[in-house]
Structure 1
Amino acid sequence: MWFPRFASDRVLRTRSVEAGFALTLSEQNTERLYCLSPQAEALGLHRGMSLADARAFCPSLITQPARPDLDARFLRVLRRWALRYCPWVGLEGPDGLVLDITGSAHLLGGEAALLKDMRARLVRAGISVRLGLGDTRGAAWAYAHFGEDKALSDLPVAALRLEEATVTALQRLGLRTIGDLTRAARAPLARRFGPGLLRRLDQARGDMPEAINPEPEPPHYATRLTLPEPIGLLPDVMAATARLLEPLCCKLKQHEAGARKLVLSVQRVNQGSQQVELRLASAMREAARILPLFERGLATVDAGFGIDVMRLEAVLVEPLPVAQLGAPRAPAQTATASEQLNDLITRIGTRIGLENVQRFLPADSHIPERSFLIAPAAFSTPQGGWACHRPRPLHLFAPEPILARGGTPPSAFRWRGMALRTGRATGPERIAPEWWLEEESWRSGLRDYWVLDTREGRRLWVFFTPQSPGWFVHGEFA
């Protein structure tokens, strides 16, 4: 299977466009056409053309940046779909699939019926395809790219999957078709072009085998337990869950992965079922740490007349490479401080949701309101402290105007109905707005910040605006 317009078909199958459409990709600081729709090709555009030239030919051209990563993901989806025709399906470059239908074509009524079914399903899905059927992998590739209605010897030498420079050199020698290459002496060709040329020729003709390597299926992290007698007590359900966790965690460790989301399904004798979902704050694969986190969820399970089937599946998995350990920990030290924090976040998250357990992270900005981020603790990592040379208050709020008197800084002022007197003042610290951002609250311009220790015991962070004189309180130190 060769998909000549694979990238553009992936986009257009979900959003139809009547005009010319093309995907662009940056190459050496130049935007070039990466994949085109049939309408764009009909206008005289071609792959590799610069976007500026394409706009000159077709001002109404609709473009969109190419996403090779999404194309690769969609090709793997098609590979799994192609397993309906045979068990041996592999990838053939970034825009093709190769199938070994030996022994499986008769299941759909023969090779012609199989190709017809393939083409009909793909066209119905909005994907352009060209199919090639041959006795060898090389011949099938050649028929798909250069025509199914010709003999192999009549196809051009480019059908042998050769490099462009090799094809050009062969054409200059008068060897334009595979038949011409077959009739030529092999020894001079091997001396001039190396063994790769003859290897491709032998693979296409069937004189040299070429295997199809199917993509390995991703590991499936799930375990199942069928009980001889129904259970219903919480200790029994916990013990059965522990038996499910052990092989699951071993498989996770074998593949250097950790679970972030686990789903435990219990089936009652009356065919009813219930699921317990556990979302973890960090990737884990230690059964001893995961099992206690299931207790709260299992306590809500209605066992009915008894549970006889249990199934545990890791539905969300992340890479968790093996880490170098230090000295062996004592049995009492079952978890580090970081692991204990993650377990605590998980326990709280099972009650209020992991997204609601949040942490502050520093941000790269000198504007007080933009100097921090709030992110879910389970999906972020703690970072270093804030890079600031002056102290920042623990409590920040919207600037509140004050009535001040007595110079700069003010010797006395009123704030929130309180009369305050300045005991000590530290500053000023001038902060300018970030001109590349539109911050509504900073349109007044520069600010001169002061730390005021009042005689009444409050320590405030105030600022003065020189361009429009006025004093404001922006925060309070603890």
Structure 2
Amino acid sequence: MWFPRLASDRVLRAHPIDGPFALTLRQANAERLYCLNPEAERQGLHREMPFADARAFCPALHSRPADPVGDARFLHVLRRWATRYCPWVGIEGDDGLVLDITGSAHLFGGEPMMLSDMRQRLNRAGLTARIGLGDTRGAAWALARFGEGRAETGQPLDTLTGLPVAALRLDGKTVIALQRLGLRTIGDLEGAARAPLARRFGLDLLLRLDQALGRQPEQIAPLADPPHYAARMSLPDPIGLFDDVMAGTSRLLDRLCARLKARETGARALRLTLRRVDQEALTVELRLAGPLRDAARILPLFERGVGEIDAGYGIDQMRLEATQVEPLPVHQISHMSSGRTDRLNDLISRIGTRIGLENVQRFLPADSHIPERGFIIAAAACSKPGGPWVALRPRPVRLFPPEPIAGTRPRPPERFRWRRISLTTARATGPERIAPEWWLPDENWRSGLRDYWHVETRQGRRLWLFYTPQNPGWFVQGEFA
């Protein structure tokens, strides 16, 4: 199953466009066409064509940047969809699927009916697909790309003999070299002497030929399903006591953490589902501040949620699932360290179970010379402690909105009144001029420059004052410890 326009079809399904359309990708320091729709190909455009030349040939060309990562994800979605026809489905390159339908075609009324169903469903989905069917993987690949159809059972050579040698999944250099020798089709290659071909092109050429004709086996390796981290327990008698539910949760945690440890992952979110005898399901959600797979540390975090559930007439089934996991590689523990460096995450998780994990926040340094923007507030569970706070001048411990005081001269006033307190300046250090960040929409800083002073008063207060030259006035914005 080959999708020659996988990338463009994926984009056009979400945003239909009438007229020529192409996706562009930067290759060899130039923008080139990556995938085109049929209208663009009819205008004479082709893949790997420079985008500037394409716009010159076709001024009405619509374009968008390509997303190979998104195309790969979409191909995996198609692989899961194709499992409706057979369980053995693998990825073939960047734009194809390979299916082993042995033993499953009769479920759709035979091979012709199965292929017809595939085409109809793909056409309704807006995808261009070419399907090849053969006794071997190589024959199916060749027919999908160079002659859509079905190979004769037991006689693949009769169907493939007229196809070009490129249908054998050979690289471009080998194809050109064979064509120069006059071997242009698979039939020509099959009729040539094998020994000279092996000496000149190696055994890979003959291996591809034998695989296509069924002389050499070639298996399909389906992609493995993603790991599923869950454990379930069915109880012979219903339970309802808090201690019994916690004991069952402990057993499920031991099994789940063993799976997490085997794959070197840790859980960030857990869901405990308790099914009552009346078929109603109760869930207990748990979010952790960091990846964790230690059952002894996770179990106490369930106590609050389990204590609030109503067991009714009893619980007869329990299921624990890790809904979000993250890599957690094994760390070497030496005699200098016990390896317990995540006690802060445990504390955040415990507090988060009570007030919500998003409500536990921390201050992080920010790259800004504006005092109010020198830090950001982030959720502690989704961030790590920042680096050291870098400031060219000392900053006050307390910051508050600017509070005006009397004074209009550039030097700090000798006497002033602040918060109903009369203060006398003993020593003033400054000024430190700070300009506004014009690219940020901050109304408080649109007034212009500020000259900051560190003022020590005779009454013991150490204040942070600033003066506005463009509109003479003094303000107090902070206080040092």
TM-score by length of 1: 0.92
Structure-2 separation of matches of 1:243 and 1:63: 56
**Among residues 191, 195, 201, which one is paired with 1:193 in the alignment?**
201
SS in 2 for 1:296: helix
Post-superposition Cα deviations, 1:106-142, rounded to whole Å, max 9, x if no partner, equal: 1111111111111111221222111111111111111
| Structure-2 change in CA distance of 1:26 and 1:418 (3 Å) | farther
Alignment match, 2:156: none
Pairs within 5 Å for 1:406-445:
407-415=410-418, 418-434=421-437, 441-445=444-448
CA shift in 2, pair 1:5/1:350, >3 Å:
same
> Counterpart amino acid of 1:119?
R
The match for 1:125 is 125
Partner Cα separation in structure 2 for residue 455 and residue 84 of structure 1: 83
Q: Deviations over 1:311-337 (max 9, x none)?
A: 1111111111111112398xxx9x83x
For residues 251 and 40 of structure 1, the distance between their equivalents in structure 2, rounded to whole angstroms, comes to 51
Q: Which residue type is aligned with residue 288 of structure 1?
A: A
CA positional deviation for 1:342: 1.3
* Cα distance between partner residues in 2 of 1:418 and 1:44: 83
Residues 288-297 or 93-102, more deviating:
93-102
Corresponding position: 1:281 with 2:299 = no
Query: 1:454: how far off?
Result: 2.9
Deviates more, 1:74-83 or 1:288-297: 74-83
1:153 corresponds to 2:161: yes
Paired position in structure 1 for 2:215: 207
Q: How does 1:236-251 map to 2 (within 5 A)?
A: 236-251=244-259
Change in CA separation of 1:133 and 1:325 when aligned onto 2, cut-off 3 Å: same
Q: Residue 438 and residue 193 in structure 1: after superposition, are their counterparts in 2 closer, same or farther (change >3 A)?
A: farther
CA distance in 1 between counterparts of 2:140 and 2:128 reads: 17
Equivalents in 2 of 1:440, 1:58: separation in Å? 48
Question: Contact (CA 8 Å) 2:270, 2:285: kept in 1 or not?
Answer: yes
Secondary structure at the residue paired with 1:3? coil
Q: Which residue of structure 1 aligns with residue 456 of structure 2?
A: 453
Q: State the shift of 1:72 in Å.
A: 1.4
Aligned-partner residue type, residue 92 of structure 1: E
* Distance (Å, rounded) in 2 between the aligned partners of 1:446 and 1:53: 51
Alpha-carbon separation, structure 1, partners of 2:33 and 2:369: 41
2:34 matched to 1:26? Answer: no
Residue 15 (structure 1) shift: 2.2
Aligned residue in 2 for 1:463 = 466
Q: Superposed, which structure 2 residues align to 1:332-371 within 5 Å?
A: 336=340, 338-371=341-374
Structure-1 residue corresponding to 2:278: 270
Aligned residues of 1:405 and 1:413 also touching (Cα < 8 A)? no
* Structure 1 residues 209-233: Cα deviation after superposition (integer angstroms, max 9, x where no partner): 1111111111111111111211111
1:257·1:317 contact (CA, 8 Å) conserved in 2? yes
- Go from structure 1 to structure 2 and tell me whether the alpha carbon gap of 1:160 and 1:398 turns closer, same or farther (over 3 Å shift): farther
Is 1:20–1:40's contact at 8 Å kept on the other side of the alignment? yes
Per-residue Cα deviation, 1:34-75 (whole angstroms, up to 9, x for no partner): 222233333332221222223333344333222222221221
- Report if aligned partners of 2:352, 2:358 keep a CA contact under 8 Å in 1: yes
Does structure 1 conserve the Cα–Cα contact (< 8 Å) formed by 2:408 and 2:473? no
- SS of the residue 1:75 aligns to: helix
Secondary structure of the residue aligned to 2:312 is: coil
- Equivalence for 1:309: 317
Q: State the AA in 2 paired with 1:30.
A: A
Q: Alpha-carbon deviation of 1:436?
A: 5.9
**Do the aligned residues in 2 keep the contact of 1:404 with 1:414 (CA within 8 Å)?**
no
Could you state the TM-score of these two structures normalised by the residue count of structure 2? 0.91
Question: CA separation of 1:358/1:63 partners in 2, compared to 1, >3 Å: closer, same or farther?
Answer: farther
Deviates more, 1:38-47 or 1:460-469: 460-469
Contact persistence 2:408–2:472 (CA under 8 A): no
Name the stretch that deviates more: 188-197 or 139-148: 188-197
CA contact (8 A) 2:463 2:479 kept: yes
Matched residue type, 2:253: L
- 2:237 aligns with one of 205, 224, 229: 229
Q: How many Å separate the matches in 2 of 1:38 and 1:309? A: 55
CA displacement at 1:438 relative to structure 2: 5.9
Q: Which residue in the other structure is 1:380 paired with? A: 383
- 1:267-307 alpha-carbon deviations (Å, 9 max, x no partner): 11122221111111111111100000000000111011111
Give the conservation status (yes or no) of the 8 Å contact 1:464–1:471.
yes
Q: Report SS of the residue matched to 1:84.
A: coil
1:326 aligned partner: 334
State whether residues 405 and 412 of structure 1, in contact with CA within 8 Å, keep that contact through their aligned partners in structure 2.
no
User: C-alpha distance in 2, partners of 1:417/1:27?
Assistant: 69
Aligned equivalent of 1:7: 7
Specify the alignment match of 2:397 in structure 1.
Answer: 394
What per-residue deviation string (whole Å, max 9, x for no partner) do you get for residues 357-416 of structure 1? 111112233333333222111111112211223222233344444432554233334445
User: Once structures 1 and 2 are overlaid, which stretch shifts more, 176-185 or 273-282?
Assistant: 176-185
1:84 to 2:84 alignment: yes
**Distance change >3 Å, CA 464–CA 44, structure 1 → 2:** farther
Distance 2:256 2:166 in 1: 50
User: In terms of mean alpha carbon deviation, does 25-34 or 114-123 score higher?
Assistant: 25-34
Distance in 1 (CA, whole Å) between partners of 2:420 and 2:17 is 63
The residue that corresponds to 1:300 in the other structure is: 308
CA distance in 2, matches of 1:9, 1:101: 26
Q: Which runs of 5+ in 1 are unaligned?
A: none
Residues 475 and 157 (structure 1), Cα distance of their counterparts in 2 relative to 1, 3 Å cut: farther
- Seq. identity, %: 68
Tell me the equivalent position of 2:41. 41
